[in-house]
Structure 1
Protein backbone atom coordinates (compact mmCIF):
# COMPACT_ATOMS: atom_id res chain seq x y z
CA UNK A 1 0.00 0.00 0.00
CA UNK A 2 1.05 3.56 -0.75
CA UNK A 3 -0.06 7.02 0.40
CA UNK A 4 0.43 9.87 -2.08
CA UNK A 5 -0.04 13.64 -2.07
CA UNK A 6 -0.28 15.88 -5.12
CA UNK A 7 -0.61 19.66 -4.99
CA UNK A 8 -2.90 20.97 -7.72
CA UNK A 9 -1.90 24.12 -9.59
CA UNK A 10 -5.26 25.90 -9.54
CA UNK A 11 -4.06 28.50 -12.08
CA UNK A 12 -3.96 25.95 -14.90
CA UNK A 13 -7.01 25.33 -17.13
CA UNK A 14 -6.50 21.57 -16.85
CA UNK A 15 -6.70 21.83 -13.08
CA UNK A 16 -9.94 23.79 -13.22
CA UNK A 17 -11.43 21.16 -15.53
CA UNK A 18 -10.50 18.35 -13.16
CA UNK A 19 -11.75 20.19 -10.08
CA UNK A 20 -15.10 20.86 -11.72
CA UNK A 21 -15.76 17.19 -12.50
CA UNK A 22 -15.41 14.35 -9.96
CA UNK A 23 -15.77 11.93 -12.85
CA UNK A 24 -12.87 13.47 -14.78
CA UNK A 25 -10.70 13.57 -11.64
CA UNK A 26 -11.54 9.94 -10.89
CA UNK A 27 -10.46 8.98 -14.40
CA UNK A 28 -7.22 10.92 -14.01
CA UNK A 29 -6.50 9.26 -10.67
CA UNK A 30 -7.12 5.79 -12.05
CA UNK A 31 -4.87 6.56 -15.03
CA UNK A 32 -1.99 6.74 -12.53
CA UNK A 33 -1.90 2.94 -12.45
CA UNK A 34 -0.83 1.30 -15.73
CA UNK A 35 -2.02 -2.15 -14.68
CA UNK A 36 -5.60 -1.00 -13.93
CA UNK A 37 -8.14 -1.06 -16.73
CA UNK A 38 -11.30 1.11 -16.71
CA UNK A 39 -13.38 -2.08 -16.66
CA UNK A 40 -11.60 -3.49 -13.58
CA UNK A 41 -13.72 -3.80 -10.44
CA UNK A 42 -11.97 -4.21 -7.08
CA UNK A 43 -12.79 -7.32 -5.07
CA UNK A 44 -15.15 -6.57 -2.15
CA UNK A 45 -12.52 -7.23 0.54
CA UNK A 46 -9.43 -6.02 -1.34
CA UNK A 47 -7.60 -2.70 -0.92
CA UNK A 48 -8.66 -0.18 -3.52
CA UNK A 49 -7.65 3.21 -4.87
CA UNK A 50 -9.16 5.95 -2.70
CA UNK A 51 -8.77 9.70 -3.13
CA UNK A 52 -9.80 12.94 -1.50
CA UNK A 53 -9.43 16.67 -2.14
CA UNK A 54 -8.41 18.93 0.76
CA UNK A 55 -8.36 22.72 0.56
CA UNK A 56 -6.34 24.11 3.50
CA UNK A 57 -6.25 27.59 1.89
CA UNK A 58 -8.18 29.37 -0.85
CA UNK A 59 -5.56 28.82 -3.56
CA UNK A 60 -4.18 25.54 -2.16
CA UNK A 61 -5.80 22.25 -3.16
CA UNK A 62 -4.21 18.93 -2.24
CA UNK A 63 -5.08 15.55 -3.71
CA UNK A 64 -4.50 12.61 -1.36
CA UNK A 65 -4.77 9.03 -2.49
CA UNK A 66 -4.09 5.56 -1.13
CA UNK A 67 -3.45 2.68 -3.48
CA UNK A 68 -2.25 -0.93 -3.54
CA UNK A 69 0.33 0.00 -6.21
CA UNK A 70 2.72 2.92 -6.50
CA UNK A 71 1.22 5.59 -8.78
CA UNK A 72 2.78 7.38 -11.74
CA UNK A 73 1.16 10.82 -11.72
CA UNK A 74 3.19 12.32 -14.57
CA UNK A 75 0.04 13.06 -16.57
CA UNK A 76 -1.46 14.95 -13.60
CA UNK A 77 1.70 17.05 -13.32
CA UNK A 78 1.38 17.89 -17.02
CA UNK A 79 -2.32 18.77 -16.75
CA UNK A 80 -2.59 20.32 -13.31
CA UNK A 81 0.83 20.68 -11.74
CA UNK A 82 4.16 22.41 -12.36
CA UNK A 83 5.78 20.31 -15.14
CA UNK A 84 8.71 22.73 -15.67
CA UNK A 85 9.71 22.32 -12.02
CA UNK A 86 9.64 18.52 -12.06
CA UNK A 87 12.91 16.62 -11.57
CA UNK A 88 13.71 12.90 -11.22
CA UNK A 89 14.06 13.38 -7.45
CA UNK A 90 10.98 15.60 -7.19
CA UNK A 91 8.56 14.57 -9.95
CA UNK A 92 5.72 16.77 -8.73
CA UNK A 93 4.07 14.47 -6.20
CA UNK A 94 5.06 12.66 -3.02
CA UNK A 95 4.50 8.94 -2.40
CA UNK A 96 5.53 6.87 0.58
CA UNK A 97 4.90 3.27 1.67
CA UNK A 98 1.73 3.02 3.78
CA UNK A 99 2.15 -0.50 5.18
CA UNK A 100 4.71 0.41 7.90
CA UNK A 101 2.24 2.93 9.31
CA UNK A 102 -0.67 0.48 9.08
CA UNK A 103 1.34 -2.18 10.88
CA UNK A 104 1.98 0.17 13.82
CA UNK A 105 -1.69 0.79 14.57
CA UNK A 106 -2.47 -0.37 18.11
CA UNK A 107 -5.69 -0.74 20.05
CA UNK A 108 -6.18 2.13 22.49
CA UNK A 109 -4.17 4.67 20.47
CA UNK A 110 -5.77 8.08 19.89
CA UNK A 111 -5.54 9.97 16.58
CA UNK A 112 -6.88 13.02 14.82
CA UNK A 113 -8.76 12.04 11.67
CA UNK A 114 -10.26 13.51 8.52
CA UNK A 115 -12.84 11.89 6.29
CA UNK A 116 -14.80 13.14 3.30
CA UNK A 117 -17.89 10.98 2.94
CA UNK A 118 -21.34 10.67 1.44
CA UNK A 119 -23.63 10.11 4.48
CA UNK A 120 -26.90 8.60 3.30
CA UNK A 121 -29.86 6.61 4.60
CA UNK A 122 -32.68 4.57 3.11
CA UNK A 123 -36.23 5.95 3.20
CA UNK A 124 -39.66 5.26 1.74
CA UNK A 125 -42.92 7.14 2.07
CA UNK A 126 -45.06 4.03 2.55
CA UNK A 127 -44.75 0.24 2.74
CA UNK A 128 -45.70 -0.24 -0.93
CA UNK A 129 -42.76 1.78 -2.23
CA UNK A 130 -39.19 0.55 -2.63
CA UNK A 131 -36.59 2.15 -0.40
CA UNK A 132 -34.64 5.10 -1.79
CA UNK A 133 -31.10 6.12 -0.92
CA UNK A 134 -31.17 9.74 0.27
CA UNK A 135 -28.44 12.01 1.59
CA UNK A 136 -28.47 13.30 5.15
CA UNK A 137 -28.86 17.07 4.83
CA UNK A 138 -28.33 18.46 8.34
CA UNK A 139 -25.05 18.45 10.31
CA UNK A 140 -26.76 16.66 13.21
CA UNK A 141 -27.90 13.76 11.02
CA UNK A 142 -24.59 13.72 9.15
CA UNK A 143 -22.75 13.35 12.47
CA UNK A 144 -25.22 10.69 13.52
CA UNK A 145 -24.32 8.69 10.41
CA UNK A 146 -20.66 8.49 11.46
CA UNK A 147 -21.46 8.10 15.16
CA UNK A 148 -23.60 5.03 14.51
CA UNK A 149 -22.30 2.39 16.94
CA UNK A 150 -22.41 -0.46 14.41
CA UNK A 151 -20.57 1.61 11.81
CA UNK A 152 -17.84 2.51 14.28
CA UNK A 153 -17.49 -1.13 15.34
CA UNK A 154 -17.16 -2.28 11.72
CA UNK A 155 -14.60 0.42 11.03
CA UNK A 156 -12.47 -0.40 14.08
CA UNK A 157 -12.62 2.90 15.95
CA UNK A 158 -14.56 4.86 18.54
CA UNK A 159 -14.99 8.63 18.19
CA UNK A 160 -13.79 10.29 21.36
CA UNK A 161 -15.99 12.36 23.62
CA UNK A 162 -15.04 15.86 24.62
CA UNK A 163 -14.03 16.38 28.26
CA UNK A 164 -16.92 17.97 30.20
CA UNK A 165 -15.01 21.25 30.52
CA UNK A 166 -14.81 21.56 26.72
CA UNK A 167 -18.54 21.15 26.09
CA UNK A 168 -20.64 24.21 25.39
CA UNK A 169 -23.70 22.55 26.88
CA UNK A 170 -23.78 20.36 30.01
CA UNK A 171 -23.69 16.63 29.22
CA UNK A 172 -23.96 17.44 25.49
CA UNK A 173 -27.67 18.29 25.65
CA UNK A 174 -29.69 21.18 24.30
CA UNK A 175 -31.42 23.61 26.62
CA UNK A 176 -34.61 21.58 26.08
CA UNK A 177 -32.94 18.45 27.41
CA UNK A 178 -32.91 16.73 24.01
CA UNK A 179 -29.82 14.56 23.29
CA UNK A 180 -27.40 16.51 21.13
CA UNK A 181 -24.41 14.43 20.13
CA UNK A 182 -22.82 17.34 18.27
CA UNK A 183 -21.55 18.90 21.49
CA UNK A 184 -20.67 15.63 23.18
CA UNK A 185 -18.10 14.27 20.74
CA UNK A 186 -14.78 15.50 19.35
CA UNK A 187 -16.30 15.70 15.89
CA UNK A 188 -17.05 18.52 13.47
CA UNK A 189 -18.67 18.41 10.04
CA UNK A 190 -18.43 20.98 7.28
CA UNK A 191 -17.57 21.74 3.66
CA UNK A 192 -20.86 20.29 2.38
CA UNK A 193 -20.75 20.07 -1.42
CA UNK A 194 -23.59 18.93 -3.68
CA UNK A 195 -22.10 17.33 -6.80
CA UNK A 196 -24.11 16.64 -9.95
CA UNK A 197 -22.61 15.25 -13.14
CA UNK A 198 -23.34 12.98 -16.07
CA UNK A 199 -21.92 9.51 -15.60
CA UNK A 200 -22.29 8.49 -19.25
CA UNK A 201 -22.99 10.20 -22.55
CA UNK A 202 -23.76 8.96 -26.03
CA UNK A 203 -21.25 9.12 -28.89
CA UNK A 204 -22.65 12.48 -30.00
CA UNK A 205 -22.28 13.96 -26.50
CA UNK A 206 -25.91 13.75 -25.39
CA UNK A 207 -26.75 12.77 -21.83
CA UNK A 208 -27.58 9.12 -21.23
CA UNK A 209 -29.87 8.61 -18.25
CA UNK A 210 -30.23 10.82 -15.18
CA UNK A 211 -27.28 12.79 -13.79
CA UNK A 212 -25.46 11.42 -10.74
CA UNK A 213 -26.06 13.52 -7.60
CA UNK A 214 -23.79 13.16 -4.57
CA UNK A 215 -23.64 15.24 -1.38
CA UNK A 216 -20.20 15.15 0.25
CA UNK A 217 -19.22 16.45 3.68
CA UNK A 218 -15.90 16.49 5.51
CA UNK A 219 -15.57 15.20 9.06
CA UNK A 220 -12.73 16.20 11.38
CA UNK A 221 -12.33 14.76 14.84
CA UNK A 222 -10.50 12.44 17.20
CA UNK A 223 -10.81 8.67 17.51
CA UNK A 224 -9.59 5.74 19.56
CA UNK A 225 -8.56 2.52 17.82
CA UNK A 226 -10.69 -0.38 19.04
CA UNK A 227 -9.85 -3.02 16.41
CA UNK A 228 -6.56 -2.43 14.53
CA UNK A 229 -7.28 -5.04 11.84
CA UNK A 230 -10.73 -3.60 11.12
CA UNK A 231 -9.26 -0.09 10.99
CA UNK A 232 -6.61 -1.25 8.50
CA UNK A 233 -9.41 -2.49 6.25
CA UNK A 234 -11.19 0.84 6.66
CA UNK A 235 -8.07 2.82 5.76
CA UNK A 236 -7.43 0.74 2.62
CA UNK A 237 -11.02 0.04 1.49
CA UNK A 238 -12.85 3.23 2.49
CA UNK A 239 -16.07 4.14 4.27
CA UNK A 240 -19.52 4.49 2.75
CA UNK A 241 -20.66 5.19 -0.79
CA UNK A 242 -19.33 7.27 -3.72
CA UNK A 243 -15.73 6.14 -3.19
CA UNK A 244 -15.06 6.61 -6.90
CA UNK A 245 -15.89 10.31 -6.55
CA UNK A 246 -13.61 11.43 -3.72
CA UNK A 247 -15.42 9.91 -0.74
CA UNK A 248 -14.43 7.28 1.81
CA UNK A 249 -10.74 8.04 2.38
CA UNK A 250 -10.00 8.23 6.12
CA UNK A 251 -6.61 9.64 7.11
CA UNK A 252 -4.99 9.86 10.55
CA UNK A 253 -2.62 12.39 12.11
CA UNK A 254 -1.02 12.54 15.56
CA UNK A 255 -2.82 14.46 18.26
CA UNK A 256 -0.63 17.38 19.22
CA UNK A 257 -0.73 18.10 22.95
CA UNK A 258 -1.74 21.67 23.84
CA UNK A 259 1.11 24.09 24.42
CA UNK A 260 1.95 24.67 28.05
CA UNK A 261 1.65 28.21 29.33
CA UNK A 262 4.95 29.84 30.25
CA UNK A 263 4.98 31.46 33.66
Structure 2
Protein backbone atom coordinates (compact mmCIF):
# COMPACT_ATOMS: atom_id res chain seq x y z
CA UNK A 1 0.00 0.00 0.00
CA UNK A 2 1.11 3.56 -0.76
CA UNK A 3 0.07 7.04 0.39
CA UNK A 4 0.80 9.83 -2.08
CA UNK A 5 0.58 13.61 -1.59
CA UNK A 6 0.45 15.95 -4.59
CA UNK A 7 0.31 19.74 -4.48
CA UNK A 8 -2.10 21.21 -7.02
CA UNK A 9 -1.12 24.37 -8.91
CA UNK A 10 -4.42 26.22 -8.63
CA UNK A 11 -3.12 29.00 -10.85
CA UNK A 12 -3.55 26.76 -13.90
CA UNK A 13 -6.89 26.57 -15.70
CA UNK A 14 -6.58 22.79 -16.21
CA UNK A 15 -6.10 22.38 -12.46
CA UNK A 16 -9.21 24.42 -11.71
CA UNK A 17 -11.21 22.27 -14.13
CA UNK A 18 -10.05 19.14 -12.33
CA UNK A 19 -10.94 20.59 -8.94
CA UNK A 20 -14.39 21.56 -10.20
CA UNK A 21 -15.27 18.10 -11.49
CA UNK A 22 -14.84 14.95 -9.38
CA UNK A 23 -15.38 12.94 -12.56
CA UNK A 24 -12.38 14.61 -14.25
CA UNK A 25 -10.22 14.19 -11.16
CA UNK A 26 -11.24 10.54 -10.89
CA UNK A 27 -10.05 10.00 -14.46
CA UNK A 28 -6.78 11.85 -13.86
CA UNK A 29 -6.03 9.79 -10.76
CA UNK A 30 -6.80 6.54 -12.59
CA UNK A 31 -4.42 7.53 -15.39
CA UNK A 32 -1.60 7.45 -12.82
CA UNK A 33 -1.76 3.62 -12.73
CA UNK A 34 -0.89 1.29 -15.63
CA UNK A 35 -3.35 -1.26 -14.21
CA UNK A 36 -6.08 -0.40 -11.74
CA UNK A 37 -7.09 -2.95 -9.09
CA UNK A 38 -10.33 -4.74 -9.89
CA UNK A 39 -13.41 -3.30 -8.19
CA UNK A 40 -15.07 -6.70 -8.31
CA UNK A 41 -12.85 -8.26 -5.65
CA UNK A 42 -12.40 -7.67 -1.95
CA UNK A 43 -8.95 -6.10 -2.07
CA UNK A 44 -7.94 -2.47 -1.43
CA UNK A 45 -8.94 0.14 -3.97
CA UNK A 46 -7.62 3.48 -5.14
CA UNK A 47 -8.95 6.27 -2.90
CA UNK A 48 -8.36 10.00 -3.28
CA UNK A 49 -9.22 13.25 -1.52
CA UNK A 50 -8.62 16.96 -2.11
CA UNK A 51 -7.74 19.15 0.89
CA UNK A 52 -8.00 22.91 0.45
CA UNK A 53 -5.80 24.32 3.21
CA UNK A 54 -6.37 27.95 2.38
CA UNK A 55 -5.75 29.92 -0.81
CA UNK A 56 -2.05 29.04 -0.92
CA UNK A 57 -2.23 25.25 -0.65
CA UNK A 58 -4.44 22.61 -2.23
CA UNK A 59 -3.32 19.01 -1.79
CA UNK A 60 -4.43 15.79 -3.47
CA UNK A 61 -4.02 12.61 -1.39
CA UNK A 62 -4.12 9.16 -2.97
CA UNK A 63 -4.06 5.79 -1.20
CA UNK A 64 -3.40 2.85 -3.54
CA UNK A 65 -2.25 -0.79 -3.59
CA UNK A 66 0.49 0.04 -6.15
CA UNK A 67 2.83 3.02 -6.55
CA UNK A 68 1.37 5.73 -8.82
CA UNK A 69 3.16 7.80 -11.45
CA UNK A 70 1.73 11.31 -11.32
CA UNK A 71 3.76 12.68 -14.24
CA UNK A 72 0.55 13.30 -16.18
CA UNK A 73 -0.98 15.21 -13.28
CA UNK A 74 2.15 17.34 -12.95
CA UNK A 75 1.86 18.31 -16.63
CA UNK A 76 -1.81 19.09 -16.25
CA UNK A 77 -2.08 20.58 -12.77
CA UNK A 78 1.41 20.97 -11.32
CA UNK A 79 4.70 22.71 -12.09
CA UNK A 80 6.16 20.69 -15.01
CA UNK A 81 9.24 22.93 -15.43
CA UNK A 82 10.25 22.62 -11.78
CA UNK A 83 13.10 20.42 -10.52
CA UNK A 84 10.69 19.19 -7.83
CA UNK A 85 8.76 16.13 -9.10
CA UNK A 86 5.57 17.56 -7.59
CA UNK A 87 4.51 14.61 -5.45
CA UNK A 88 5.72 12.45 -2.59
CA UNK A 89 4.84 8.78 -2.15
CA UNK A 90 5.20 7.00 1.18
CA UNK A 91 5.25 3.25 1.85
CA UNK A 92 2.05 2.74 3.84
CA UNK A 93 2.21 -0.96 4.70
CA UNK A 94 4.52 -0.71 7.73
CA UNK A 95 2.40 2.08 9.20
CA UNK A 96 -0.78 0.06 8.77
CA UNK A 97 0.79 -3.05 10.27
CA UNK A 98 1.85 -1.10 13.38
CA UNK A 99 -1.68 0.04 14.27
CA UNK A 100 -2.90 -1.42 17.55
CA UNK A 101 -6.12 -1.26 19.60
CA UNK A 102 -5.97 1.68 21.99
CA UNK A 103 -3.88 3.87 19.64
CA UNK A 104 -5.19 7.43 19.51
CA UNK A 105 -4.91 9.56 16.37
CA UNK A 106 -6.11 12.80 14.94
CA UNK A 107 -7.97 12.15 11.70
CA UNK A 108 -9.47 13.78 8.65
CA UNK A 109 -12.17 12.11 6.57
CA UNK A 110 -14.02 13.40 3.54
CA UNK A 111 -17.19 11.39 3.07
CA UNK A 112 -20.63 11.38 1.46
CA UNK A 113 -23.11 11.02 4.37
CA UNK A 114 -26.37 9.72 2.94
CA UNK A 115 -29.48 7.94 4.11
CA UNK A 116 -32.43 6.23 2.47
CA UNK A 117 -35.78 8.02 2.50
CA UNK A 118 -39.31 7.42 1.25
CA UNK A 119 -41.17 10.15 -0.63
CA UNK A 120 -43.57 10.68 -3.49
CA UNK A 121 -40.82 11.01 -6.11
CA UNK A 122 -39.49 7.47 -5.68
CA UNK A 123 -39.91 5.57 -8.96
CA UNK A 124 -42.34 2.68 -9.19
CA UNK A 125 -40.70 -0.49 -7.93
CA UNK A 126 -38.18 1.39 -5.79
CA UNK A 127 -38.69 1.25 -2.04
CA UNK A 128 -36.45 4.18 -1.06
CA UNK A 129 -34.33 6.97 -2.50
CA UNK A 130 -30.86 7.97 -1.36
CA UNK A 131 -30.53 11.51 -0.01
CA UNK A 132 -27.74 13.52 1.57
CA UNK A 133 -27.66 14.44 5.25
CA UNK A 134 -27.75 18.24 5.29
CA UNK A 135 -27.08 19.32 8.87
CA UNK A 136 -23.86 18.93 10.93
CA UNK A 137 -25.81 17.07 13.60
CA UNK A 138 -27.04 14.38 11.20
CA UNK A 139 -23.69 14.23 9.42
CA UNK A 140 -21.94 13.56 12.73
CA UNK A 141 -24.53 10.93 13.63
CA UNK A 142 -23.86 9.23 10.27
CA UNK A 143 -20.19 8.80 11.18
CA UNK A 144 -20.83 7.81 14.80
CA UNK A 145 -23.17 5.02 13.66
CA UNK A 146 -20.38 3.55 11.52
CA UNK A 147 -17.45 3.81 13.89
CA UNK A 148 -17.81 0.39 15.54
CA UNK A 149 -18.00 -1.50 12.24
CA UNK A 150 -15.06 0.55 10.95
CA UNK A 151 -12.75 -0.44 13.85
CA UNK A 152 -12.55 2.85 15.77
CA UNK A 153 -14.38 5.09 18.20
CA UNK A 154 -14.50 8.87 18.27
CA UNK A 155 -12.92 10.13 21.48
CA UNK A 156 -15.40 11.70 23.89
CA UNK A 157 -14.77 15.17 25.27
CA UNK A 158 -14.39 15.74 29.00
CA UNK A 159 -17.60 17.23 30.35
CA UNK A 160 -15.90 20.53 31.24
CA UNK A 161 -14.86 21.08 27.59
CA UNK A 162 -18.32 20.63 26.12
CA UNK A 163 -19.59 23.97 24.86
CA UNK A 164 -23.15 22.84 24.17
CA UNK A 165 -25.55 20.75 26.26
CA UNK A 166 -26.17 18.44 23.26
CA UNK A 167 -24.28 17.33 20.13
CA UNK A 168 -20.87 18.31 21.54
CA UNK A 169 -19.92 15.09 23.30
CA UNK A 170 -17.16 14.02 20.90
CA UNK A 171 -13.86 15.31 19.52
CA UNK A 172 -15.45 15.80 16.11
CA UNK A 173 -16.22 18.77 13.88
CA UNK A 174 -17.66 19.19 10.42
CA UNK A 175 -15.06 21.25 8.62
CA UNK A 176 -16.61 21.58 5.16
CA UNK A 177 -19.97 20.93 3.54
CA UNK A 178 -19.89 21.02 -0.26
CA UNK A 179 -22.91 20.06 -2.42
CA UNK A 180 -21.67 19.18 -5.92
CA UNK A 181 -23.41 18.57 -9.25
CA UNK A 182 -21.48 17.44 -12.32
CA UNK A 183 -21.71 15.33 -15.45
CA UNK A 184 -19.87 12.11 -16.10
CA UNK A 185 -19.35 13.29 -19.70
CA UNK A 186 -20.46 16.26 -21.84
CA UNK A 187 -22.72 13.97 -23.88
CA UNK A 188 -24.87 13.03 -20.89
CA UNK A 189 -28.19 14.78 -20.43
CA UNK A 190 -28.66 17.19 -17.54
CA UNK A 191 -31.10 14.79 -15.88
CA UNK A 192 -28.23 12.29 -15.62
CA UNK A 193 -26.01 14.68 -13.65
CA UNK A 194 -24.30 13.23 -10.59
CA UNK A 195 -25.20 14.95 -7.31
CA UNK A 196 -23.21 14.33 -4.15
CA UNK A 197 -22.51 16.20 -0.93
CA UNK A 198 -18.93 16.04 0.28
CA UNK A 199 -18.40 16.61 3.98
CA UNK A 200 -15.01 16.80 5.70
CA UNK A 201 -14.69 15.68 9.30
CA UNK A 202 -11.78 16.52 11.60
CA UNK A 203 -11.48 14.81 14.96
CA UNK A 204 -9.73 12.41 17.26
CA UNK A 205 -10.26 8.65 17.32
CA UNK A 206 -9.17 5.55 19.18
CA UNK A 207 -8.50 2.26 17.39
CA UNK A 208 -10.76 -0.54 18.69
CA UNK A 209 -10.18 -3.29 16.11
CA UNK A 210 -6.92 -3.00 14.18
CA UNK A 211 -7.93 -5.34 11.34
CA UNK A 212 -11.23 -3.56 10.71
CA UNK A 213 -9.53 -0.18 10.95
CA UNK A 214 -6.88 -1.16 8.38
CA UNK A 215 -9.68 -2.13 6.06
CA UNK A 216 -11.33 1.27 6.58
CA UNK A 217 -8.08 3.05 5.69
CA UNK A 218 -7.52 0.98 2.53
CA UNK A 219 -11.09 0.37 1.30
CA UNK A 220 -12.70 3.68 2.27
CA UNK A 221 -15.78 4.61 4.25
CA UNK A 222 -19.20 5.33 2.77
CA UNK A 223 -20.39 6.00 -0.78
CA UNK A 224 -18.99 7.98 -3.75
CA UNK A 225 -15.42 6.73 -3.36
CA UNK A 226 -14.74 7.32 -7.06
CA UNK A 227 -15.56 11.00 -6.52
CA UNK A 228 -13.16 11.90 -3.74
CA UNK A 229 -15.02 10.48 -0.74
CA UNK A 230 -14.14 7.75 1.76
CA UNK A 231 -10.44 8.43 2.37
CA UNK A 232 -9.38 8.84 6.01
CA UNK A 233 -5.88 9.99 6.92
CA UNK A 234 -4.27 10.09 10.37
CA UNK A 235 -1.97 12.47 12.22
CA UNK A 236 -0.17 12.08 15.55
CA UNK A 237 -1.88 13.53 18.59
CA UNK A 238 0.29 15.66 20.88
CA UNK A 239 1.40 13.69 23.88
CA UNK A 240 1.02 10.26 22.22
CA UNK A 241 3.49 8.03 20.42
Moved more, 99-108 or 42-51: 42-51
| Partner Cα separation in structure 2 for residue 255 and residue 199 of structure 1 | 39
Matched residue, 2:196 = 214
Q: What residue number does 2:135 align with?
A: 138
Measure the CA separation in 1 of the matches of 2:161 and 2:86.
41
Q: How big is the shift at 1:201?
A: 4.4
Cα displacement (A) at 1:101: 0.3
Q: Within 2, Cα distance between the matches of 1:209 and 1:219? A: 30
Q: What displacement does 1:61 show?
A: 0.4
Alignment of 1:192-231 (within 5 A): 192-202=177-187, 207=189, 209-231=191-213
Gaps of 5+ in 2: none
Q: 1:243 aligns with which of 221, 225, 233?
A: 225
Q: SS at the partner of 1:14?
A: helix
Secondary structure in structure 2 of the residue aligned to 1:121:
strand
Given that residues 50 and 249 in structure 1 are in contact (C-alpha distance below 8 angstroms), is that contact kept between their aligned partners in structure 2?
Answer: yes
- Cα distance per residue 1:116-161 (max 9 Å; x no partner): 000000010379862010000000000000011xx21210000010
Which residue of the other structure, out of 215, 222, 230, is the alignment partner of 1:233?
215
Among residues 178, 182, 188, which one is paired with 2:173 in the alignment? 188
Corresponding residue number in structure 1 for 2:93: 99
Q: State the alpha-carbon separation in 1 of the partners of residues 9 and 29 from structure 2.
A: 16
Distance (whole Å) between structure 2 residues aligned to residue 198 and residue 10 of structure 1: 22
Aligned to 1:160: 155
Aligned residue pairs: how many?
A: 237
Instruction: Name the residue aligned to 1:4.
Output: 4
Distance 1:43 1:103 in 2: 25
1:56 equivalent in alignment to 2:53: yes
Q: CA deviation at 1:35?
A: 1.6
Displacement after TM superposition at 1:17 (Å) = 1.1
Find 2:119's aligned residue among 100, 125, 130: 125
Following TM superposition, the consecutive aligned residue runs of length 4 or more in structure 1 with deviations greater than 4 angstroms are: 126-129
Per the normalisation by structure 2, the TM-score is: 0.93
Root-mean-square deviation (Å)? 1.9
Q: Does 1:253 align with 2:235?
A: yes
Distance apart, 1:56 and its partner CA:
1.2
Which segment drifts farther, 40-49 or 105-114?
A: 40-49
Contact 1:189–1:219, Cα closer than 8 Å, also in 2: yes
Name the CA distance, whole Å, in 2 between partners of 1:136 and 1:20.
22
Question: What SS does structure 1 have at the residue aligned with 2:148?
Answer: helix
Question: Residue 200 of structure 1 contacts residue 208 of structure 1 at CA under 8 Å; is this kept in 2?
Answer: no
**Alpha carbons 1:201, 1:208 under 8 Å: kept:** no
Distance 1:196 1:238 in 2: 22
**Higher Cα Rg: structure 1 or 2?**
1
Gaps of 5+ in 1: 174-179, 259-263
